């Protein structure tokens, strides 16, 4: 009975089915309107996504010419290849900082900290604060701290450091959830076999949490690839390949902004948007796949 009721979407509760069987189909205007409204809203949400993706694909794909992928950028070919390579380097650098910090923090919060600890409360509060800060504020901070105070200039490194702070709460939270999803019996079994805390964490808990952590990391990659506001005044807007980590660079998103802002190369802007959109959609899909693997493997293990 209760299980039938909780799965109420497909299998309607018995009461409603009985009412229908009895054929009491009185027209109830309010209910009808409400039903129409929810279907309409869901339809709008879905249609907006489809329209947005389809519009950009249709307008952009025909302009994906080889000249957009030439090694060097100039105002003739407006090549996006340097920006794509910059995006890759930027992502690797930012993750190299934020993954260890994020995972270690999550390990501390889940495996080591005692409940009600003051320090833990503060860590949670600050990570919540970090996740709410808009990217432009990160950009301002990066400009003041990394670019000016540490004197790194507009550089790859300053941009990556800014982004590392920006995605830190995301990695922290997803890792924490993944660690919490590992059943306690795993830890108890490991302790029972005489393993220490550290060995248990690294050999037992972390490996079983990997799909969840991976899904968070992939989401973080998505945020980094799509970020613009935090980078304009930290990494700068040079459309060339970097010579070293102190070179000014632009990522694909910043490239897209500069291109569409100039207004001269609207077709190339569409093509760049296609590449950016496809990459981001792919990343999100991958993250979903990883997360699904976590839940299915977790269920199997618990049974």
Contacts with other proteins in 183-202 (CB under 8 A)?
A: 196-198
Site for other proteins in 65-94 (CB under 8 A): none
Matching residue, tokens 């997360």 = 291
Site for other proteins in 164-183 (CB under 8 A): 165, 168-169, 172
Is residue 283 close enough to count as binding other proteins by CB under 8 A? Answer: yes
- Identified binder of other proteins from the candidate list 73, 253, 271, 298, rule CB under 8 A: 253
CB of 207 to other proteins, least distance (A): 17
Is the distance from CB of 220 to CB of 299 less than 8 angstroms?
Answer: no
Q: How far apart are CA 162 and CA 216, in angstroms?
A: 18
Q: How far apart are CA 225 and CA 279, in angstroms?
A: 8
Tell me, by CB under 8 A, how many residues bind other proteins: 97
Is the distance from CB of 71 to CB of 80 less than 8 angstroms?
Answer: no
The neighbour count for residue 296, using CB atoms within 10 Å, is: 11
CB of 125 to other proteins, least distance (A): 8
Residues 172, 175, 180, 181, CA torsion sign:
positive
Site for other proteins in 207-236 (CB under 8 A): 219, 222, 225-229, 232-233
- The tokens for 44 are 């709008």
Is residue 241 close enough to count as binding other proteins by CB under 8 A? Answer: no
> Nearer Cβ to other proteins, position 159 or 169?
169
CA-based max dimension of the chain: 78
Q: How far apart are the first and last CA of the chain?
A: 24
- Identified binder of other proteins from the candidate list 207, 264, 281, 295, rule CB under 8 A: 281
Give alpha helix (H) positions in the chain. Answer: 2-6, 14-21, 29-60, 81-107, 118-132, 135-142, 156-180, 184-192, 197-199, 206-226, 229-232, 252-262, 266-302
- Identified binder of other proteins from the candidate list 240, 260, 267, 297, rule CB under 8 A: 260
Is residue 55 close enough to count as binding other proteins by CB under 8 A? Answer: yes
> Nearer Cβ to other proteins, position 207 or 301?
207
Q: How far apart are CA 279 and CA 226, in angstroms?
A: 9
- The tokens for 61 are 């794909």
Per-residue interface string for the shown chain with other proteins, residues 91-130, x marking contact by CB under 8 A = ---------xx--xx-xxx-xxx-----x--xx--xxxxx
Q: How far apart are CA 215 and CA 297, in angstroms?
A: 14
- Identified binder of other proteins from the candidate list 34, 54, 92, 189, rule CB under 8 A: 34
> Nearer Cβ to other proteins, position 281 or 301?
281
Q: How far apart are CA 100 and CA 198, in angstroms?
A: 16
Site for other proteins in 135-154 (CB under 8 A): 135-138, 140-141, 143-145, 149
CB of 46 to other proteins, least distance (A): 5
Is residue 265 close enough to count as binding other proteins by CB under 8 A? Answer: no
- Identified binder of other proteins from the candidate list 21, 30, 192, 302, rule CB under 8 A: 30
């Amino acid at each position: 009975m209760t299980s039938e009721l909780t799965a109420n979407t497909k299998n309607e509760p018995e009461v409603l089915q009985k009412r229908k069987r009895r054929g009491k189909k009185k027209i109830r205007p309010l209910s009808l309107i409400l039903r129409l409204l929810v279907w309409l809203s869901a339809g709008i949400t879905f249609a907006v996504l489809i329209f947005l993706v389809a519009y950009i694909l249709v307008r952009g794909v025909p302009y994906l010419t080889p000249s957009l992928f030439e090694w060097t950028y100039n105002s003739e070919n407006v090549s996006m290849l340097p920006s794509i390579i910059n995006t890759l380097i930027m992502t690797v650098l930012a993750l190299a900082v934020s993954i260890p910090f994020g995972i270690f923090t999550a390990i501390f919060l889940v495996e080591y900290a005692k409940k009600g600890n003051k320090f833990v409360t503060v860590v949670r509060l600050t990570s919540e604060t970090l996740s709410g800060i808009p990217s432009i504020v990160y950009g301002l901070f990066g400009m003041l701290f990394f670019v000016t105070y540490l004197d790194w200039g507009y550089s790859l490194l300053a941009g990556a450091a800014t982004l590392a702070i920006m995605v830190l709460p995301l990695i922290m939270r997803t890792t924490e959830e993944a660690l919490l999803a590992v059943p306690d019996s795993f830890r108890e079994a490991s302790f029972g076999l005489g393993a220490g805390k550290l060995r248990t964490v690294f050999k037992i808990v972390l490996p079983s949490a990997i799909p969840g952590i991976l899904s968070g990391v992939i989401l973080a990659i998505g945020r980094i690839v799509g970020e613009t506001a935090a980078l304009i005044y930290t990494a700068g807007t040079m459309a060339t390949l970097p010579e070293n980590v102190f070179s000014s660079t632009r990522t694909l998103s910043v490239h897209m902004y500069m291109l569409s802002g100039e207004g001269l190369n609207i077709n190339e802007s569409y093509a760049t948007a296609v590449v950016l959109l496809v990459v981001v959609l792919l990343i999100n899909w991958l993250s979903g796949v990883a997360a699904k693997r976590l839940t299915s493997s977790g269920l199997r293990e618990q049974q």
